[in-house]
């Protein structure tokens, strides 16, 4: 999706002054920006400032004469928007949007838009943590609103904490990425992280997967408009914004969670490092240390990817191959054996290209035998390139 027209809603918080810099930066990037201010916002910033920077009259009143040639201005503006952003977004506007209240121009106009909505909250930390705000944000995310989370730092009220409105340059970067809103409405299921195979209530077998690649994929897919389900093994990562996260523990639990949701998906990306084997028996009590060795018999876990490959109808199926040797041969074999559309392979013995790192060096093998070798890059960049490949397969359909 090409973003040209941006409606910027400004609500009543100290951070309203940042809306001036945001408008200026957006204009410099070539966007057409029309600003709407709430009554409270005008206590913090003059409409004249935004009018001058945006080069358009600022709309402040639902019932005033239209500032444009449009008759019913709140509907026309809602349609004009390619993206609707509210920055700063007060607890009040978030609450009103969650409840479906339209009692001024901004709240009515944002309800009427079909454009992607980006909210940039700014408020005191205690307000941000209030259960009502937490619940309202969760509800709006579920409805598809995008959030640029507040940063942590010194707040205008003197407190420190999470609540500072994100900086205008970060918001502009976010919108540029959102401009590639090419996966709208596609249902993508992503798996991430390791699994844990229990031996007893305190011990388990696992692997070094950090989950970063899967989480980066989930974040990138969401930012491009996909409806993302992330099935995650135990990892130390925050849930990505807007993504439906399902936490699982063992390979069997992951198998069930993936299979239960497979039919409704348009694509599945299996980035999890699922254990191939599990202990044959799991002791209900902690196994006591004894003299001598402890021999554990491992049995095969189901092969989730192969199962999906056998069941797939219209779904694009993407696998990962983390290899220590014969990377290309092993990846190509897996691509065919599991009926995949793409496989992303990496040599995990290479520095900065495997488990636990922020970066990856992947080669993507396609079903048609062709391949693309990517240089070392962040997992987020790699995620976007993998999604590009999936997008291309949909375009060629």
Query: How many Å apart are CA 364 and CA 385, to the nearest integer?
Result: 9
Stretch that binds ligand FMN, among 13-21, 144-152, 186-194, 316-324 (CB under 6 A): 13-21
Query: How many Å apart are CA 14 and CA 156, to the nearest integer?
Result: 7
* DSSP letter for each residue of 26-39: HHHTT-EEEEEE-T
The answer to whether 201 touches 286, Cβ cutoff 8 Å, is yes
111 forms part of the interface with ligand FMN (CB under 6 A): no
CB of 45 to ligand FMN, least distance (A): 11
Output 41 or 192, the one with its CB closest to ligand FMN.
41
Applying CB under 6 A, among 60, 92, 191, 357 the residue interacting with ligand FMN is 92
Return the residue matching tokens 């989730």: 304
12 forms part of the interface with ligand FMN (CB under 6 A): yes
Marked catalytic residue, from 35, 109, 157, 344: 157
Which residue's CB comes closest to ligand FMN? 13
Return the residue matching tokens 């040209």: 4
Site for ligand FMN in 20-79 (CB under 6 A): 38, 40-41
Token pair listed for 308: 């999906």
CB of 141 to ligand FMN, least distance (A): 18
Applying CB under 6 A, among 7, 50, 78, 91 the residue interacting with ligand FMN is 91
118 forms part of the interface with ligand FMN (CB under 6 A): no
93 forms part of the interface with ligand FMN (CB under 6 A): yes
Q: Is 109 a catalytic residue?
A: no
Burial (CB < 10 A; 0-12, 13-18, 19+), residue 72, is exposed
385 forms part of the interface with ligand FMN (CB under 6 A): no
First CA to last CA distance, the chain: 19
The answer to whether 211 touches 192, Cβ cutoff 8 Å, is yes
CB of 109 to ligand FMN, least distance (A): 13
Query: How many Å apart are CA 211 and CA 258, to the nearest integer?
Result: 16
Output 155 or 327, the one with its CB closest to ligand FMN.
155
Token pair listed for 199: 């031996």
Active-site positions read 157
């Amino acid at each position: 999706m090409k973003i040209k027209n941006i409606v910027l809603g400004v609500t009543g918080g100290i951070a309203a002054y940042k809306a001036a810099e945001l408008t200026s930066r957006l204009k410099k990037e070539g966007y057409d920006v029309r600003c709407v201010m709430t009554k409270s916002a005008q206590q913090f910033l003059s409409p004249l400032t935004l009018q001058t920077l945006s080069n358009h009259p600022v709309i402040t009143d639902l019932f005033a004469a239209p500032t444009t040639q449009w008759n019913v201005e709140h509907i026309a503006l809602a349609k004009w928007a390619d993206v609707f952003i509210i920055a700063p977004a007060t607890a009040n506007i978030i609450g009103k949007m969650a409840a479906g209240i339209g009692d001024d121009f901004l709240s009515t106009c944002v309800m009427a838009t079909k454009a992607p909505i980006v909210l940039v909250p700014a408020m005191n930390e205690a307000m941000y943590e209030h259960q009502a705000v937490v619940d309202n944000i969760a509800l709006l995310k579920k409805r598809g609103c995008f959030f640029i989370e507040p940063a942590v730092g010194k707040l205008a009220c003197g407190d420190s904490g999470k609540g500072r409105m994100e900086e205008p340059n970060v918001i502009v970067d976010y919108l540029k990425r959102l401009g590639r809103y090419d996966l709208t409405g596609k249902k993508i299921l992503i798996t991430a992280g390791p699994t844990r195979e229990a031996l007893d209530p305190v011990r388990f077998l696992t692997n070094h997967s950090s989950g970063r690649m899967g989480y980066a994929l989930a974040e990138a897919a969401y930012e491009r408009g996909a409806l993302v389900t992330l099935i995650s093994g135990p990892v130390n990562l925050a849930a990505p914004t807007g993504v439906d996260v399902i936490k699982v523990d063992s390979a069997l639990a992951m198998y069930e969670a993936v299979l239960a949701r497979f039919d409704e998906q348009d694509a599945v990306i299996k980035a999890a490092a699922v254990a191939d084997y599990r202990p044959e028996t799991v002791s209900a009590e902690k196994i006591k240390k004894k003299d001598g060795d402890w021999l554990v018999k491992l049995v095969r876990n189901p092969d989730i990817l192969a199962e999906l490959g056998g069941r797939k109808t219209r779904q694009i199926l993407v696998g990962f191959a983390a290899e220590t040797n014969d990377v290309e041969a092993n990846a190509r074999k897996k691509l065919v054996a599991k009926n995949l559309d793409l496989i992303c392979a990496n040599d995990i013995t290479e520095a900065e290209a495997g488990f636990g790192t922020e970066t990856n060096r992947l080669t993507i093998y396609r079903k048609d035998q062709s391949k693309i070798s990517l240089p070392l890059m962040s997992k987020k960049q790699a995620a976007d390139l993998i999604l590009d490949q999936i997008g291309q397969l949909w375009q060629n359909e």
